[in-house]
Structure 1
Amino acid sequence: MKTYTLYTCAGQLQLHQGRKGVQVPVVVLNRREQVMEPAELILWSRLCWRFRDREQLRRDFETAAEQLTPPDEEKGAFDGLLCRLMTRGLVMAGEGDSQVDALYDLLCNLYVTPIDNSFFGRLTSYARLASAHRVPAASAKRLLRKDRPTEQERRILALTRQAMLSTAELVKCEEADARDVSDSGKLLDALYYDDATTCYNIAHLMRQSPKRDAVVLAVSNLYLRKQILFQRVCL
């Protein structure tokens, strides 16, 4: 039986002021700054707002590395770089007998962080791009256009603005029809209202939930449309 493996990344890329005013790219993961080497940053960025299998990721990385560095220097380093980033918790993998199973395995323990989708936030992003490059009108229109989430996606965004929730916990909230997790008591009632579920087994239990696929699809689509980021609480 064929097994699917998918990869993505966690954390948020930021530019910090380094020595002599040089901007240094770092990835902030669980409030910790992770300094990236150029090759690591290339590989990590190939997974930002993307899901890739290993061969897709290798091709994307090698194409980018050819443009930015001597190709012989970076192509042979792919396996080692991927292993290093996974060890640091910056890249994750999920496996399953189907694409949806692999996606759930990938996302179940990742925490969903919504991105500011206000018009001011989108306008600021456009201004930053425009200051560095000439942005075509069509690109500006796409960037400034307000995202239109589905009802399922709106529920996920509303929950994740109240509390830090993993994808497995979002499935549990959907099972319980929970809409208010604004304090610790309400959060515990939504997630652990039965005797079977614990913080250690929730990802395993939600694998068989009838709500799983709808939540996984919604989380995946929000991520692909750059509406959320993933974080890891424990490394």
Structure 2
Amino acid sequence: MKMLYTANGRYIRCCTEEGTRPVIIVCEKEYEVDVQEFMLWSILNWRILREDEIGSYYEKMVSNINVTIHRSWQDCVQRLLVRGLIVAGTGDTEYDALYDLLACRFIIPIGAAWPLRVLSFLKLTFLEGISWKITRRLFHVDARSSCEKKVIRLARQTPLSCAEIIKS
């Protein structure tokens, strides 16, 4: 059996009197994660990987930072799976595993209102000292094809699974 993994949810930084801590939100429920779990979730965010690839990325990341390891990355992956912070797809082939992984995932378009985008642009440029060329590149919106526009319009009306998007 082939297995593929990806991250689920979105990250926020929670600030408390003790300091900041990473929190992952899935279905409006907050899950606090430790450093090892956050590293693995970050590796899988915007990626679809095999288990051996997760291990390679993790080992590379651990070697570049000074963090105390309390348990194996495989144990962390299992804990994240149980909590629903990462998801896996299985199948006889990698195509089947990919379909299994994406079939029940839903696309939720996000976007920021233009005043928020303008304020963020100004903050990065003037307060953070990032050059105008770089911030302009960060806030550049790619032109969408007619098919992409159709999918976004449909997804704003109702949640669409990846399978439904492919069919559309």
Quick check: 1:7–1:51 contact (8 Å CA) kept in 2?
Answer: yes
- For structure 2, the residue ranges without an aligned partner over 5 or more in a row are none
1:31 paired with 2:19, answer no
1:94 paired with 2:89, answer yes
Query: TM-score by structure 2 length?
Result: 0.80
Question: Residues 107-118 of structure 1 correspond to what in structure 2 (within 5 A)?
Answer: 107-116=102-111
- For structure 1, the residue ranges without an aligned partner over 5 or more in a row are 175-235
For residues 4 and 94 of structure 2, the distance between their equivalents in structure 1, rounded to whole angstroms, comes to 8
What count of residue pairs does the alignment treat as equivalent? 168
Q: Which residue of 2 aligns with 1:19?
A: 17
1:81 paired with 2:81, answer no
Q: Which residue of 2 aligns with 1:61?
A: 58
For residues 80 and 111 of structure 1, the distance between their equivalents in structure 2, rounded to whole angstroms, comes to 27
For residues 97 and 42 of structure 2, the distance between their equivalents in structure 1, rounded to whole angstroms, comes to 21
For residues 21 and 29 of structure 2, the distance between their equivalents in structure 1, rounded to whole angstroms, comes to 15
**After the TM superposition, which of the residue ranges 41-50 and 99-108 deviates more from structure 2?**
99-108
Q: 1:162 Cα shift?
A: 1.5
For residues 27 and 137 of structure 2, the distance between their equivalents in structure 1, rounded to whole angstroms, comes to 30
Q: Which residue of 2 aligns with 1:214?
A: none
Instruction: In structure 1, give the amino acid aligned to 2:73.
Output: F
For residues 126 and 95 of structure 2, the distance between their equivalents in structure 1, rounded to whole angstroms, comes to 40
* CA spacing shift, 1:62–1:23, aligned 2, 3 Å: same
* CA spacing shift, 1:143–1:123, aligned 2, 3 Å: farther
Structure 2 SS opposite 1:148? coil
Q: What RMSD, in angstroms, separates the aligned Cα atoms of the two structures?
A: 2.9
* CA spacing shift, 1:35–1:70, aligned 2, 3 Å: closer
Instruction: Report sequence identity in percent.
Output: 29
For residues 128 and 90 of structure 2, the distance between their equivalents in structure 1, rounded to whole angstroms, comes to 39
Quick check: 2:125–2:131 contact (8 Å CA) kept in 1?
Answer: no
Q: Deviations over 1:140-169 (max 9, x none)?
A: 343111122333322221122112232234
Q: 1:96 Cα shift?
A: 4.0
For residues 131 and 10 of structure 1, the distance between their equivalents in structure 2, rounded to whole angstroms, comes to 34
Which has a greater percent of strand?
2
Structure 2 SS opposite 1:84? helix
Q: Deviations over 1:17-60 (max 9, x none)?
A: 2234x222211110100001111001001111122222222111
Structure 2 SS opposite 1:61? helix
For residues 131 and 81 of structure 1, the distance between their equivalents in structure 2, rounded to whole angstroms, comes to 40
Quick check: 1:39–1:65 contact (8 Å CA) kept in 2?
Answer: no
Quick check: 1:108–1:166 contact (8 Å CA) kept in 2?
Answer: yes
